[in-house]
Amino acid sequence: MVTLALSVYLEVRGWQVRNLGRSLPGQEIAAAALALRPEAVFLSLTMLSRLEEALATVHRLNALQPRPVLVLGGRGARMARHLLTAAGVRVAADFADAHHLALSELRHA
């Protein structure tokens, strides 16, 4: 439900969105990003028990050229903000913050 809500939120604000669903393995996220070449990738991390997997996904996405802006939201992302930020991720408090963080990063690219 959250992925659909975020997709609609971003579409209303002018983004072209490809919703890949929820609980997609990191290698599939990276493969989709490689094929679609998005400017930004928005992910959610709700449980800290999935932090290692999220960081592995971030490293896969950071290796892409061109590298998409990475924005993570969710309770787990906010709790692990320092680790995710060190990995090059923008951590969002809510949908509006995610939208603004991605736009800000793209303007400075």
| Full-model pTM | 0.94
> What is the pLDDT, as a whole number, of residue 82?
97
pLDDT for residue 22: 87
Domains of the chain, earliest start first: 2-107 (3.40.50.261)
pLDDT level of residue 109 (50, 70, 90 thresholds) = low
Question: What does each C-alpha distance from 89 to 8, 42, 58, 85 come to in angstroms?
Answer: 22, 10, 8, 5
Average pLDDT over residues 9-28: 94
Mean pLDDT of the chain: 95
* Cα–Cα distance measured from residue 82 to residue 25, given in angstroms and rounded to the nearest whole number: 23
Model confidence at 108: pLDDT above 90: no
